[in-house]
Structure formats: C-alpha cells, structure tokens
Structure 1
Amino acid sequence: MTKFIIPLFLLISGSVFSQVAVGTSPESNNRWTFGGGIGLGFGSNSYFNLSATPRVGYKLTNDLEGGVLGSISWQKSNAYSSTMLGVGPFLNYYVARTFYLSANYQHYFINYKDKIYDYKANTNEDALYLGGGYMQRIGNNSYLQLGLMYNVLYKENESIFSSGLVPNIGFVVGL
C-alpha cells in the first residue's frame, strides 16, 4: 500500500505546486482563493488515517478572507474504523502576509464502528476552531500555512476527538 500512497502524495504535491507556479499574478483583481490540506497517518495496531480539507475563500479586503471549508477523514485500525465528513464557514485575518488569525466552524457527520465491542454509531459533532499561524510564500500569490487551532467547544469524555488542540498544514492559492 505504501508503494501506492507515496507516489500519489507526490503527484498531488506536484499538482499543487504546478498550480502555484501558474496562479494569477499579484496585480490580478481576482478575489477568490483556493486551497486545503492533505493528511496521512500510520500507527500501531494497523492504524491508518487519510484526510483531505479543501477550501474556497473570498477576499473581503486585502487582509480579511471568508469562505467555506470542508473535511473528510477515514480512519482504520484493528480496533475501530470511522468516517467523518465536515463542512462549515471560516474567516481568516492576515497580518503582513506573514501570520494569520483564523476562526472556523465545522459540523461533523461521523460514522464509527468499534470492532472489539461490536458497537456502531452515527453521530454529529460541532467544533469551533480558533487559532493562527505562520505563512510562507511559495509562489506569486500562493502560501504554505503552518498553524495551531483549538476547538473551544471540545468537552473531554463527551467528544469523539481525543483533544481540542489541532495542528494544521495547508496551501492557499490566490492571496
């Protein structure tokens, strides 16, 4: 499986950087932005996680952007499997195109199956992520974003998530 995933990741990364190189020039009046992130995880007990978070934004001002963010995640291990779909609005404020502050609300639809206890659940959960991070220019109007978010709606022992703290890495084209 690794022989399949690594070339796929490289192909997707190459596609993202290709789009970055031919993106609109900084002088363009296009106010739309596009981006997202891809996640891949491995762990003990045959744990595997694949996730994608596409986003579409609109520059309200030169430093303020609003839009819609989606997410999909597949997780599987010897003990459980789950699928999560999320959607919601986001708002980003950019500070000198070096740092950003972010808020996004996500409503998750979760399908969970515990293989040990033969338990299945279909549930929903809300998250309100607040945070920020650093931006690195990688093209004319394209950036790599590295940040940290916290789900202020997270409640220990009530949430499907293991923590309220979420690191994130993503790309944005159109800023």
Structure 2
Amino acid sequence: MKKFIIPLFLMISGAMFSQVAVGASPENNNRWTFGGGIGLGFGSNNYFNLSAAPRVGYRLTDDLEGGLLGSVSWQKSNSYSSTMFGVGPFLNYYIARTFYVSANYQHYFINYKDKFYDFKANADEDALYLGGGYMQRIGNNSYLQLGLMYNVLWKENSSIFSSGLVPNIGFVVGL
C-alpha cells in the first residue's frame, strides 16, 4: 500500500504546482483549489522531522470547499524512527476570506522502529480534526492559512500522537 501512496502523492503534488502557475488569475472561473504545507523540525537527541501535506479541493460554493488531503512524515532520532502516511477528506468554510473553520478526517498508516529495544511496529490510527484559523491573502487568489485544530478522536494512552491539539500553517491557491 505504501508503495502506491508515495508515488500518488508525488504525482498529485506535481500536478498541483503545474496547475497553480496556469490558473492564478483572478478572472479564473476554475473551481479547483490546490495547496498544502511542508514541515521541518529539529530537536534534542538528533531529532529530525520532515513532513509534507498536499491537498486538492473543489469550491462547492464561494465559501464552502471540500476535497482530499494527504500527508507524509518522516521522523528520526537517536532512539527511534518512524514513517507515517495519512489520507482523507476535508471540508473548509471561509468567512469573508479572512477566517475559516475546518474539519478533516485522516487515516494514518504508521511504521515505527525503536532502536534501543529493537522493536518494530506497524499500526493504523484515525483522526478527526476540527478547528479553524486566520487567512492572509498573498496573491490574486492565493492565501496563507494559520490555524489550530483538535483531534476529537485522540486518547491520551492509546494514541501515537502526544497531543490532540495541532497548530497548522498552509497555503491554498484557487480561492
């Protein structure tokens, strides 16, 4: 399954960026939107994290958008390494192109390896993120999104995530 998901995300990302250059004028009546986010993290114990989350959406109305969101994340430290893939639908409602409320469901596929205990695990986890945030126009129909989401399915002792609260920064083109 993973061998299928990575090339699919790469093709979607390539198509997304090629479409952005073509359809970036305000007169464009195209209802498709494209965007996503990229993350990079460093920490103690040689911690390193690289993540990407491409998205493709469709404007159902001028203020309501639905679509598909993917994510891939690689984490590595002195004590463990993991790879995580996620995919699922999202729904955004835009308020005066300044604020947004959002819901998205993600199903994650996780591959984890503990280096100290020589332990390997493959797991799945579901997440339902609800939240919203602020939007800043950065071009004709392009926006920077700054928000905060909460995974309502998160459980403290049974989740691979350390918290249910997730800050997010992303871009969207086509609004």
TM-score, with normalisation over the residues of structure 1? 0.87
1:67-119 CA-to-partner distances (Å, cap 9, x unmatched) read 00000000000000000000000000000000000000000000000111111
**Equivalent-residue separation in structure 1 for 2:171 and 2:68 (angstroms):** 15
Matched-pair contact (CA < 8 Å) for 2:109–2:122: yes
Q: Cα–Cα, structure 1 residues 60 and 18, in superposed 2: closer, same or farther, change >3 Å? A: closer
Equivalent position of 1:115 in the other structure: 115
1:64 aligned onto 2:92: no
Deviates more, 1:58-67 or 1:27-36: 27-36
Equivalent position of 1:33 in the other structure: 33
Q: CA deviation at 1:27?
A: 2.4
Matched-pair contact (CA < 8 Å) for 2:23–2:30: no
Q: Cα–Cα, structure 1 residues 69 and 17, in superposed 2: closer, same or farther, change >3 Å? A: closer
**Equivalent-residue separation in structure 2 for 1:149 and 1:119 (angstroms):** 31
Deviates more, 1:21-30 or 1:42-51: 21-30
Equivalent position of 1:156 in the other structure: 156
Q: CA deviation at 1:23?
A: 4.3
**Equivalent-residue separation in structure 2 for 1:35 and 1:25 (angstroms):** 16
Gaps of 5+ in 1: 1-15
Structure 1 stretches of 4+ with a deviation exceeding 3 A read: 16-23
Equivalent position of 2:140 in the other structure: 140
**Equivalent-residue separation in structure 2 for 1:133 and 1:59 (angstroms):** 18
Equivalent position of 1:42 in the other structure: 42
Equivalent position of 1:84 in the other structure: 84
Q: Which letter maps to 2:125?
A: E
1:118-172 CA-to-partner distances (Å, cap 9, x unmatched) read 1110000000000000000000000000000000000001000000000000000
**Equivalent-residue separation in structure 1 for 2:17 and 2:99 (angstroms):** 21
**Equivalent-residue separation in structure 1 for 2:108 and 2:99 (angstroms):** 27
1:73 aligned onto 2:101: no
Identity rate, percent: 88
Q: CA RMSD in A?
A: 1.8
Gaps of 5+ in 2: 1-15
Aligned residues: 160
Q: CA deviation at 1:20?
A: 6.6
**Equivalent-residue separation in structure 2 for 1:124 and 1:31 (angstroms):** 33
**Equivalent-residue separation in structure 2 for 1:22 and 1:86 (angstroms):** 28
Q: Cα–Cα, structure 1 residues 17 and 109, in superposed 2: closer, same or farther, change >3 Å? A: closer
Q: Which letter maps to 2:110?
A: I
**Equivalent-residue separation in structure 2 for 1:18 and 1:137 (angstroms):** 20
Matched-pair contact (CA < 8 Å) for 2:129–2:151: yes
TM-score, with normalisation over the residues of structure 2? 0.87
Equivalent position of 1:171 in the other structure: 171
